[in-house]
Amino acid sequence: MQIRASPLLITAPVSNLQKSQFISLGFKASRAASMAATPELSSEAFKDGWFTEKSTMWPGQGLSIQYDVILYNARSDFQHVVVMSTKAYGKVLLLDGVIQATERDEHSYQEMIAHLPMAALETPATRVLVVGGGDGGVLRELSRYPGVKEIHMAEIDKMVPEVSKKFLPQMSVGFQDPRVQLHICDGIKYVQDAEEGSFDVIIVDSSDPVGPAEVLFEEPFFRALHCAVKPGGIVCTQAESIWFHLPIIESLAGMCGRIFEGGSVSYAYTTIPTYPSGQIGFMLCCKARPTQGPGSGEAPVDPRVARQTPGNVIPPLGVKELQYYDANVHSSAFVIPKFAKDAIGKHLTFQGK
């Protein structure tokens, strides 16, 4: 059942992926390696029919899930790709030993990372970019907006969409939208090369900022995102868990505030049982509109308000109804616990009081 990846040309700094992104940038695997035999499953992670998700990002703990069968196990040019079937969560996609999506709870993450920026826009989006997201779940959510003309995805690892289409139909249904254009390429380079102000929304499923993936949380990438998004548009990036990673989030929020000067920076979260701590956050950066800026007096976009409404069911595309998101969930996602507000509120445009 193994799908083998063709080697891809890697032109950018490389990184491992951890969380819900498949932009990766992996290690430079040789053609020989990519064609190697089925990789061994680490006996540390897979033992006695149980998988345990351990990482230096959440030391000393990890979710354990009992699995029935390993449906897929291969090494792409970028990462180790595993699909396992489980009783508790249905089929589960792992990249380099970290849970990316499960059939049971993926809707929470995919709906929130897509609809928080899309619904907050003052003017409906027409052109959207997803960096990573190769399972297709975010595409499925974007397809709920009839006003969107183009949905671009920059995904470096072609094995991920292939595996998703084979094993995860409820997510890969997103690829059926005729407005989707899949670019197998380095996501950072794609953003750097994009025309200035050419996207209403950019969604980044970034990896955790340790090791080589650190670049995805650094200034050059965020400056490129700021350039590529329209004035009044929104960049929404995966932004870790307030329970585990407050210092990272604080640093990220501070940087976003400097880069999106005159616009707004906000933090929201969603609950999801299979991500570490049971939740994950998003940084929403709204680019200043031309009439804005220091002294202009016009308020920046406040993303806590849902102004647009995603369609619930899209029968022609096979897209089923929303499971997590509605306008009330949208606004309450920005209400963070006191300990988090105390730590990062000073960098947030609307959430510091």
Residues marked as catalytic: 205
Cβ closest to a copy of itself, residue 182 vs residue 343? 343
Q: How far is the CB of 277 from a copy of itself (least distance, A)?
A: 4
Greatest Cα-to-Cα distance within the chain, rounded to the nearest angstrom: 63
Q: Nearest distance from residue 41's CB to a copy of itself, in Å?
A: 17
What's 266's DSSP letter? E
Q: Distance between the two ends of the chain, CA-based, in angstroms?
A: 54
151 phi/psi in degrees, rounded to 5: -120, 110
Residues lying near a copy of itself in the complex (CB under 8 A)? 52, 58-66, 86-89, 105, 107-108, 243-244, 271-273, 275-279, 322-326, 328-329, 331-332, 335-339, 341
CA distance 270 to 329: 9
For the record, the structure tokens of 204 come out as 């980044």
State the DSSP string of 117-129. HHHH-SS--SEEE
Cα separation, 48 vs 50, in Å, equals 6
Q: What order of strands is seen across the sheet that includes strand 80-86?
A: 80-86, 90-95, 98-102
Compute the C-alpha angle 275/211/54, nearest 5°.
35
Residue closer to a copy of itself by CB (options 41, 327) is 327
Residue 67 or 78: the one with the smaller Cβ distance to a copy of itself is 67
Least distance between a copy of itself and beta carbon 10 (Å): 35
CB of 30 to a copy of itself, least distance (A): 35
Give the pair of three-digit tokens for residue 278. 């049971």
| Residue 172 beta carbon to a copy of itself: minimum distance, rounded to whole angstroms | 21
Looking at the Cβ atoms of 316 and 328, the one nearer to a copy of itself is: 328
